[in-house]
Chain A
Amino acid sequence: MFDVRPVDTDYVRHRAAQFRAQVDRRLDGSLTEDEFRPLRLMNGVYLQLHAYMLRVAIPYGTISPDQMRMLAHLARNYDKGYGHWTTRQNIQFNWPKLVDIPDMLDHLASVGMHAIQTSGNTIRNVTTDAFAGAAPDEIADPRPYAELLRSWSTDHAEFQFLPRKFKIAISGGAKDRAIVSAHDIGLRLVEQDGKPGFEVWVGGGLGRTPLLGQVIRDFLPEEDLLPYIEAIIATYNLTGRRDNKYKARIKITVSERGLDVFRDEVEAEFINRRRDFHGADREALKIFRDRFAAPAFRNAPVEGYEQARAANPGFRSWTDTNLHPHKIDGYASVIVTFKAPGATPGDASADQMRLLADLAERYGHADLRVMHDQNVALPHVHKSDLPALYAALREAGLATANAGKTSDIIACPGMDYCTLATARSIPIAQEIAEHFRAAGLEDEIGNLNIRISGCINACGHHHLGHIGILGLDRAGVENYQITLGGDAYDIPAIGQRAGAGFPAEEVVPAIDRLLRAYLDIREDEGERFIDAYRRLGPAPFKAALYPEVAHA
């Protein structure tokens, strides 16, 4: 577990104090909104549809029980009792008052947390695999590298005014769980001649022009990480378009200029930057690696686990669905989904946060992870503790056995909260989840990723959903466009538009037709929706979505 150093804590306290003074000056009229807006955005404060919104970073998704309790405290005392996990290992509070936000930041600072660079055209929260330090396929724990990038990028003077926001993800496993191909820079830990290094991806991103990244370097030795990343961002900072907000992302820079031209510039820049670091980056990496010591794993036989599985079908199906394998025998990583029936995807109540903090202390080596799919994981749980953990989660309504299934939907806040939205996301997600559960089809359908965004910005990753749903405004009426064949994990792919959009009340019937058609045409139970789509192509799925057209 990473422990926060006094120097970090002093720094975030200082930033919170600075923001308090800025809020005071805004309220007494010395700052106009135009002057204040960039200052509040630098501290993660947005103004949304009904209220202010505060976005708090959870660096690389790792959060301690005390930090989780602090989020609960903020949810209870400054919000309406809940917070919203995003797809970028952040939490958003939807209802704070501006006058309270300085106090919230002070509270966060007391546990080493903050909202710095959760907005603005800067390097945003560096995200990674939620099972870092736990997954059996891991080449190395990606978090020391993520921490190196975090500490280097925080308040980095050169990169406070990039052409546009900048997102970096690192994956440590042989299997990519951080979606490196959909980030401005994606890093995959790989080994060459027994040495760790990175496959470096650049130019991925969703939003208006969804693009998968390209490999700019097959192998970057780990000791060159910082100067190379700095070279990429410096190159983008100079050559990225600033004339058009929608073309300002690095994905456009790379695709307009061509990967080879971009790479040549980066490599030239890298030589200079490497020299300027004087080895300080290598020293820092060593220190960070020590700070992510593995917990003292229990070397004990697994007791009661198989018996509980045999005796309790609910427990069995939860373990079948919500566990991830662990590198240590007798251990598992546990996924707690915030997708219970009727729930808003990703919303966590203060009580739920507190319970998770307690359970992590009792059963999980005091470690918690915020996952990119709006769920939370307990990365290290001994299997003997799983029956008790399950019972406690169940009592709190947090043991829904749906990880990776139909109702485990990613949904952005949409027009229920977001000023940029063109339609709602949350009610659509709720209706789909409830429909398939009521129809008893969820287990039969098996693995399926549905992703919903309330506008083209794609915060809900709809392009990467096996089924993606994009909310639009068609002449003042909510309308939903469906994309098929996207994939975030196994074979990264951007979904393709299936056809005309649907009015809100026709979305569930359309998805119902689509999934029933899939159940009819799949080869066997093992063929997932995405596999069947890849085998058969879009035609049979489009025919199910648009029966009138097919029959015409």
Chain B
Amino acid sequence: MSKAFTPSAAKPGVITANDLREGHNVWMCEDGWTADPAQATLFEDEAIAELALLKAIGQSNIVVGPYVVEARRGPEGPEPTHFREAFRQTGPSNYFHGIQAAKQAEASNV
């Protein structure tokens, strides 16, 4: 597990967890949780992030193990700064599985 991270304006962060029923990675967004990390809320304020984390912990019937982790502002939305989070946002490198596959499936359905 990543060490506890405190976001700031210089080093913003996102809140992430696993979905309780299915296990996949999710990120906290405006209206709940999303499987698309680019939709995640970017926290720049320590106090606001702490409140949001408490809220996430309170949603233990939806998600498991929420934590705050560093992210940077990208053109599409928050981007991971550490390779562990990058893998969580794509999926394993040996197969095209996980979020990378889910995204493609979604794209081909539009």
A interface residues with partner B (beta carbon < 8 Å): 26-29, 32-33, 47-52, 80, 95-99, 344, 347, 415-417, 419, 421, 424, 426-427, 430, 473, 476-478
Q: Interface extent on B, as a size class?
A: 20 to 34
- Nearest-neighbor residue (CB-CB) of A49 within chain B: B88
Residues of the A chain whose Cβ atoms lie less than 8 Å from the Cβ of B64: 33, 47
- A476 near B24 with CB under 8 A, answer no
Chain B, residue nearest A53 (CB): B23
A473 to B18 alpha-carbon distance, docked (Å): 23
Q: Once the chains bind, are B22 and A99 in contact (CB under 8 Å)?
A: yes
Residues of B within 8 A of A80 (CB): 95, 97
CA distance A80 to B84 in the complex (A): 22
B81 interfacial contact with A, CB 8 Å: yes
Q: Which residue of A lies closest to B95 (CB)?
A: A80
The answer to whether B87 has its CB under 8 Å from any CB of chain A is yes
CA distance A51 to B23 in the complex (A): 4
Q: Could you list some 20 contacts between A and B, CB below 8 A?
A: A27-B20, A33-B60, A48-B23, A49-B84, A49-B88, A50-B23, A50-B88, A50-B99, A51-B24, A51-B98, A80-B95, A80-B97, A95-B23, A96-B23, A98-B20, A99-B21, A99-B22, A416-B93, A426-B93, A427-B93
Known contacts A49-B88, A96-B23, A419-B1; 10 further A-B pairs (Cβ under 8 A): A28-B61, A32-B60, A50-B99, A95-B23, A99-B21, A344-B94, A344-B95, A415-B84, A426-B93, A427-B93
A residues near B22, Cβ cutoff 8 Å: 51, 97-99
CA distance A473 to B83 in the complex (A): 9
- Chain A positions within 8 Å of B81 at CB level: 476
Closest to B22 in A: A97
**Interface majority SS (helix, strand, loop, mixed), chain B:** loop
By Cβ-Cβ distance, the 7 closest A-B pairs, closest first, are: A416-B92, A51-B23, A52-B23, A29-B61, A97-B22, A50-B98, A344-B94
Pair B92/A426 contact, Cβ less than 8 Å: yes
Inter-chain contacts of A477 with B (CB < 8 A): 83
Most buried by A among B22, B81, B82: B22
Which one, B21, B60, B61, B98, contacts A98 given CB within 8 A?
B21
- Which B residues fall within an 8 A CB radius of A? 1, 18, 20-25, 60-61, 64-65, 81-84, 87-88, 91-95, 97-99
Determine the distance from Cα of A99 to Cα of B24 in the docked complex, in whole angstroms: 13
User: B102 → chain A, closest Cβ, in Å?
Assistant: 10
Q: Which residue of B lies closest to A28 (CB)?
A: B61
A417-B83 CB under 8 A given contacts A33-B60, A33-B65:
no
Q: Residue of B at shortest CB range from A478? A: B83
Given A50-B91, A419-B1, CB of A27 within 8 Å of CB of B61: yes
- Distance (Å) between the CB of B90 and the closest chain A CB? 9
Q: How far is the CA of A49 from the CA of B65 in the complex (A)?
A: 11
Q: List residues of chain A with CB within 8 A of the CB of B23.
A: 47-48, 50-52, 95-98
Inter-subunit contact B25/A416 (CB<8 Å): no
Q: Which residues of B contact A347 (CB under 8 A)?
A: 94
Q: Nearest Cβ distance between residue A36 and chain B, in whole angstroms?
A: 9
Inter-chain CA distance A426–B67, complex, in Å, is 26
Measured CB to CB, the closest approach of chain A to B17, in angstroms, equals 10
* CA A96 to CA B97, docked complex, whole Å: 13
CA distance A423 to B49 in the complex (A): 28
Contacts of A473 in B (CB 8 A): 83-84
* Residues in chain B near residue A47, CB distance under 8 A: 18, 23, 64-65
A427 / chain B contacts, CB cutoff of 8 Å: 93-94
| Least Cβ–Cβ distance between A518 and chain B, in angstroms | 28
Smallest CB–CB gap between B80 and chain A, Å?
A: 10
Are A95 and B97 neighbours in the complex by a CB distance under 8 Å? yes
Q: Which of A33, A97, A424 contacts B21 (CB 8 A)?
A: A97
In the bound complex, residues from chain A placing their C-beta under 8 Å from that of B99 are 50
Minimum distance in angstroms from B5 CB to a CB of chain A? 13
Evaluate contact between A416 and B60: CB separation under 8 angstroms. Answer: no
Determine if B83 and A416 form an interchain contact, defined as CB atoms under 8 angstroms apart: no
> CA A8 – CA B24 in complex, angstroms?
34
| B98 surroundings in chain A (CB, below 8 A) | 50-51
CA distance A426 to B81 in the complex (A): 22
A416 touches B94 (CB 8 A): yes
B101 to chain A, nearest CB (A): 9
Nearest Cβ on chain A to B105's Cβ, whole angstroms? 13
A52 to chain B minimum Cβ distance, whole angstroms, is 4
**Given the complex of chains A and B, what is the CA–CA distance between A263 and B24 in angstroms?**
48
Q: For residue B60, which residues in chain A have a CB less than 8 angstroms away from its CB? A: 32-33
